[in-house]
């Protein structure tokens, strides 16, 4: 498995628009991407502008398929102006 963790800092006035788009992106990824196995969208009221993602893919190639998908490209274009900062980290070896 290949893990991707992303932390977003969302502009305060954009959170109400960002979260529905993020949830739709996660749902679509799980439904249409064979290599996407898990996609959590996490928030905490103590950090109202932070969104944390935890995603599991078969391998790095499956994550590349995600990044090249039409639904991800549309999501990325829509939410880009809403993001104040973004940190993406990947982990090539995931064991349980």
How would you write the pLDDT of the chain (96 residues) with one tens digit per residue? 999 999 999 998 999 999 999 999 999 999 999 999 999 999 999 999 999 999 999 999 999 999 999 999 999 999 999 999 999 999 998 777
Nearby residues of 71 by Cβ (< 8 Å), 6 or more positions away: 25, 28, 29, 32
Q: Which domains does the chain have, with CATH numbers?
A: 2-91 (3.30.70.100)
Tokens 């990947």 belong to residue = 90
* pTM score: 0.92
Distance CA 45, CA 82 (A): 19
Q: What integer pLDDT is reported at residue 73 of this predicted model?
A: 97
């Amino acid at each position: 498995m290949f893990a991707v963790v992303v932390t977003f800092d969302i502009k305060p006035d954009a959170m109400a628009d960002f979260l529905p788009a993020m949830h739709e992106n996660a749902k679509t990824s799980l439904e249409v991407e064979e290599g996407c196995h898990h996609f959590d969208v996490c928030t905490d009221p103590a950090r109202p502008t932070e969104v944390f993602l935890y995603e599991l893919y078969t391998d790095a190639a499956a994550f590349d398929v995600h990044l090249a998908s039409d639904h991800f490209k549309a999501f990325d274009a829509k939410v880009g102006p809403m993001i104040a900062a973004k940190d993406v980290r990947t982990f090539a070896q995931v064991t349980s």
